[in-house]
Structure 1
């Protein structure tokens, strides 16, 4: 039973999970440790050591390690990531206005170079003089580069030349758009490449931390990472294309949900600390998003599960609007460091601040909130503006009251920028704290949670009354809000899948009446046509009520808390390659993709080369991605309408897909 164990690790925003899995016996042991953002290896080591101890097996029993993570998704949802320089070849400033590219770019630098190719791979000469002029200075202002060339998917030569030059001068990581997608649509490909470049250092740190720890423990086995479509890729490939790991955690949870429940059709909702991810299982497979994954409001070109990610979790910020006659509570989208967790990590530093605020005769505007550095290495805090640096210097590694940090109103925006860069955590009340107050969660410091909710309960609403009569009362309000908001996001995801996305459950009066089961002459009811699978450590606490509100059955597997880590080890390696054939003029056929452009005068010969290239490259890529013995399947899409009595080829696409189980170490 223990000769070939697979170790699954899932690094989430709050927890790192580890499972030891046997293909014959299922989950042998599972463990959790807090994710340590300043040094991810600490959290990984904590979870793995704990699971090895529980299973009482030697490290030599492990033959494969597989990692899933929500770090890339969380970074994009929370607007975090390194600063990247974007180089556009053959594009102009007006192209930034398409596909949300300008918005995604924010204040990151962009350079436009003459060059690029046409649809058949023919080139416009490349001029790199603007790059040579800007590079020495730029290299000190960014942590990575992204390159997008006009029609680079048909001919990537210019992207490659620019990449070589940037590496030569800056020695920084560089991402080219042709490495990420074979789809046309320059601005969206540029956006995907930019986001990839921002994530490089984060995913590199995660994989490096994991590898260092495994080496230290003598675990010398292949290491895989879950991709956004649920397939596995080797750690080396994930380092080059971290964007492919967006939605890695959710994809792994879907693969895990299917494996743990055996359900063919279900709505799967995974609640973490930062996000709730909702997806649909149809005939045992996750639906894939044909248009590319949407994360943090941006549509990328990454093929991933059709997963909708919402900024709602156990550690979501509790926002109290006290302006109306009755106070209203909303949750998210930002993640806070729960007060109960901050006090578990920093003890009296947190408790004493909260006690002092509770004793004060007048309530302060920032009561119940503290700030603390996340502990990221100093070089990742480079390039701060003077006012950001001054504020960052005032915040230390021990939480301080927000009121002592913010000396003027404009500094609130400065603090938000530090939070967005992932340099500072704000600590405040969250649903996790409410659960501690109600005694339904107990892993952190309940006293701090109680103090935080007491401080918040004193706030006055528009009628001059305290918003809640006690901390327990407020805790119940927060949990009810989480149940309702979760039901709304699950409905929103399902309505979107049904093509009825125009109905917004958060504002629809009919949905409101149905969820509240309000009596009336007209009775509204609502329900799902399949069970709701609840995943995540807190799923057993929240999901029975959510399923009841949605009029369906709850399916919460025994291993709901580690479904992602299970999904990480039961997946397959998959690779897909597309090769194109186009006709620039009568009787000439150009083959592009999976190698240099080739020109033919015979259509069948061009098609034969394209088929061979696609299949060979798919198998090669699957092996490079870590597959043991991949098998390939092939299909063709030929666009050749009848024109004046004869068929005229516009474009032919030859798509090969190769898949197999990952290589394991044979001790």
Structure 2
């Protein structure tokens, strides 16, 4: 077979990266373009066109496209996503109090229907009356639905019936909990399903934008998406299960880090515009989180890399707490559009306003802050309250200063809700602006960055003194704070991995003394036992100082800025299916998982069917996810204790794993 080029694309909150990769040569070309929220295809086409031009190759040389993204992770960290309707079958309202489900649901609607199954798959009759009554009106206020049934992993029939009815009446996307996980724990499975439903429109737009561009350019090859555990799935599967793409970007970066550095043991920290993601490489492999990925404070049932995600990045909000005698700077967790970027995109909208605000004798409450629409389709603004709609209509495609937009505190709260829905960006000072002032970055408008930093420096502490003596000093405060918060993030992740999560670096005097090398009779020191791999476009700017603070050897690969895109094309397809056998009564063995529940009179026959079903379903899933010639392995756990000399089957679990490299298009 000819050495096809593989096209890796990573769509982050700020940048879209593209690489052309050869399995024999490595990275052939790399490029970046700004992520364009209003039309993701613009950013994708910008990056891909640049990389094709750089490599000077025809599109016919490409045999595979693979996509990784931090959009789903960012959305959950920032509390964003579409409005979803949750349908609970066989559950009670009290179940909302478990696993953070009620908190995650917020103001989104929920319906409770009688029905569901028991642990052996036996049903309680399903009653869809409440659904039939609510569905016509409900489908006008949500963008998708989540359906969770009691013990649906043992018998999915009720979930499927509700799903089919919702689709027939509303035409909206529907996620069923049994499609996402085979694990027990109804409320957490419902939480995972709800988050999945909220992400459907976002990931659908991303994949659709990528497919539309590739089609226009005549690139007709298989398209894959990176899953949260670093494995690849087909674009069609990712559309159905977008929750599996949470931590897609970080997982791809880990795969990329291992590939680019060759290190078997390392701490990998990837800084983006919105988040910093930290994970540990041991034996050349990322650890997986057996309990499910935690993102945005919610523990899901998605198997993913054991990654800690922090709301800290180059575009993080700069918060100045001026209530104490000495002011304190903190960063995140929200992502803002840097003033330097906003001015580069809208040259006449930012600098004149900042100059006007600087001429004023006193600092205004909203000085240095603007609002602009993200540009998402209008249908995603469904369900806004009248006062939210009124404020949204005042905000346009050009940044508008908040001191001219907001006239009351209530409007500020309303604006925050529009930001949380992903409809509006706030433009304000960020670490990226600080780096423009200090000369570490220069890709956007340094004039706007300096003016914004100068306004921030006018803030006064509790003693009435300015927070900083000029823009350079203010910029240094911000960058130093990013260095410290990044060090805290790395330490938190590593201490948790070492089993000493009780030590909180942000509140530990000992850690503070160690990081800042405080002199004393007792000297504290701290160090990592392995290199710190810094990834991200701004890694060369930030990570030397972070590694120095942590007493670690820095490892910043030449392609650190596109590690995610590299990781997207060097991974494998992997599908896991678990089947179960239980014994509800003497001489009755029930096979569940991977399809409908089936009963058998003999244990051996039930075990045989469970094994065959697990392997066949895993192979079919791997092929559906784009694997070429997948191979399957099987593991089994049989819980059958001896009770009074009699063997009693509690549960047998058969776990089949099918894996293989993705199919690559052959040249005609």
TM-score class, shorter: over 0.9
Per the alignment, in what secondary structure is the counterpart of residue 568 of structure 1? helix
Q: Describe the SS at the equivalent of 1:158.
A: helix
Instruction: Report the counterpart of residue 411 of structure 2 in structure 1.
Output: 411
Q: SS at the partner of 1:372?
A: strand
Distance 2:192 2:154 in 1: 17
Deviation track 1:606-636 (CA, whole Å, cap 9, x = no partner) reads 1111111111111111000000010001110
Tell me what 2:119 maps to: 119
Indicate if the aligned counterparts of 1:222 and 1:665 stay in contact, CA closer than 8 A. Answer: yes
Aligned alpha-carbon RMSD (Å): 0.8
1:363 Cα offset (Å): 1.8
Superposed, 1:14-163 pairs within 5 Å as: 14-163=14-163
**Structure 1 range deviating more: 494-503 or 235-244:** 494-503
Asked if structure 2 preserves the Cα contact closer than 8 Å seen for 1:2 and 1:57, the reply is no
Task: Kindly indicate whether residue 559 of structure 2 is the aligned counterpart of residue 559 of structure 1.
Answer: yes
Write out aligned runs for 1:533-612 (5 A). 533-612=533-612
1:249 maps to what in 2?
249
Measure, in 1, the Cα distance between the counterparts of 2:119 and 2:459.
Answer: 62
Aligned-partner SS, 1:584? strand
Q: Is the deviation greater in 451-460 or in 263-272?
A: 451-460
Counterpart for residue 494 of structure 1: 494
Check whether the contact 2:431–2:482 (CA below 8 A) recurs between aligned residues: yes
Asked whether the 8 Å contact 2:3–2:24 carries over to 1, the reply is no
CA distance in 1, matches of 2:281, 2:259: 12
Match of 1:653 in 2: 653
Contact 1:2 1:22 (C-alpha < 8 Å) held by counterparts: no
In the TM superposition, 1:511-522 aligns within 5 A as 511-522=511-522
Secondary structure in 1 matching 2:353:
helix
Matches within 5 A, 1:36-435: 36-435=36-435
CA distance in 2, matches of 1:224, 1:18: 14
Secondary structure class of the residue paired with 2:426: strand
Secondary structure, aligned partner of 2:409: coil
- Residues 114-156 of structure 1, C-alpha deviations (whole Å, 9 max, x = no match): 0000100000000011100000000101000000000000000
Q: Distance in 2 between matches of 1:150 and 1:362?
A: 60
Give the 4+ runs in structure 1 shifted more than 4 A.
none
Match of 1:348, SS state, is coil
Which range moves more in the overlay, 185-194 or 378-387?
A: 378-387
Q: Is the 8 A contact 1:457 1:467 kept in 2?
A: yes
Distance 1:479 1:395 in 2: 31
Tell me, yes or no, if structure 1 residue 624 matches structure 2 residue 624: yes
Q: Deviations over 1:298-335 (max 9, x none)?
A: 00000000000000000000101112122110000000
1:595 Cα deviation (Å)?
2.0
Q: Deviations over 1:520-543 (max 9, x none)?
A: 111111111111000001001110
In 2, Cα distance between equivalents of 1:427 and 1:350: 9
CA distance in structure 2 between the aligned counterparts of 1:609 and 1:461, rounded to whole angstroms: 71
1:613 aligns with 2:610: no
SS in 1 for 2:534: strand
CA drift at 1:362: 2.3
Deviations 1:466-493 (A, max 9, x none): 1111101111111111101100010001
The farther-off stretch of 639-648 and 167-176 is 639-648
Match of 1:466 in 2: 466
Kept in 1: contact 2:468–2:474 (CA 8 A): yes
Structure 1: unaligned runs, 5 residues or longer: none
Distance 1:649 1:440 in 2: 64
Q: Is the 8 A contact 1:2 1:61 kept in 2?
A: no
Q: Indicate the SS of the match to 1:349.
A: coil
Aligned to 1:665: 665
Distance 1:462 1:636 in 2: 64
* Residues 155, 595 of structure 2: 8 Å contact kept: no
* Secondary structure of 1:17's aligned partner: strand
Q: Secondary structure at the match of 1:277?
A: strand
Q: List runs of 5+ in structure 2 lacking aligned partners.
A: none
1:84–1:143 contact (8 Å) kept in structure 2: yes
Q: 2:327 & 2:115 partners in 1: Cα distance?
A: 58
> Aligned equivalents of 2:653 and 2:461: distance in 1?
62
Bigger drift between 322-331 and 284-293 goes to: 322-331
Following the alignment from structure 2 to structure 1, what is the Cα–Cα distance between the partners of residues 345 and 542? Answer: 25
Give the Cα separation in 1 of the matches to 2:156 and 2:542: 49
TM-score normalised by L of structure 2: 0.99
Deviation of 1:249 (Å):
0.2
> Residues of 2 paired with 1:262 and 1:121: CA distance?
48
1-structure distance, mates of 2:454, 2:596: 67
C-alpha distance in 1, partners of 2:576/2:460? 58
Which secondary structure state, in structure 2, belongs to the residue aligned with residue 24 of structure 1?
A: coil
1:639: Cα distance to partner? 0.3
Instruction: Tell whether the 8 Å contact from 2:582 to 2:591 is kept in structure 1 after alignment.
Output: yes
CA displacement at 1:386 relative to structure 2:
1.0
1:646 positional shift: 2.1
- CA–CA distance in structure 2, aligned partners of residues 362 and 653 of structure 1: 68
Contact 2:116 2:124 in 1 (8 A): yes
Q: Distance in 2 between matches of 1:483 and 1:140?
A: 46
Q: 1:2 Cα deviation (Å)?
A: 8.0
SS at match of 2:584: coil
How far apart in 2 are the matches of 1:240 and 1:378? 22
**Inter-partner Cα distance in structure 1 for 2:595 and 2:420:** 40
CA distance in 2, matches of 1:470, 1:596: 69
SS of alignment partner, residue 198 of structure 1 = helix
The residue number in structure 1 matching 2:640 is 640
Question: Take 2:378 and 2:603, find their aligned partners in 1: how far apart are those partners?
Answer: 58
More off after superposition, 45-54 vs 360-369: 360-369
Distance in structure 2 (CA, Å) of the matches to 1:599 and 1:183: 20
Taking the aligned partners of 1:382 and 1:166, their CA distance within structure 2 comes to 18
Provide the C-alpha distance between the structure 2 equivalents of 1:394 and 1:357, rounded to a whole number of angstroms: 21
Does the Cα contact within 8 Å between 1:152 and 1:178 map onto a contact in 2?
yes
1:355/1:451 contact within 8 Å kept: yes
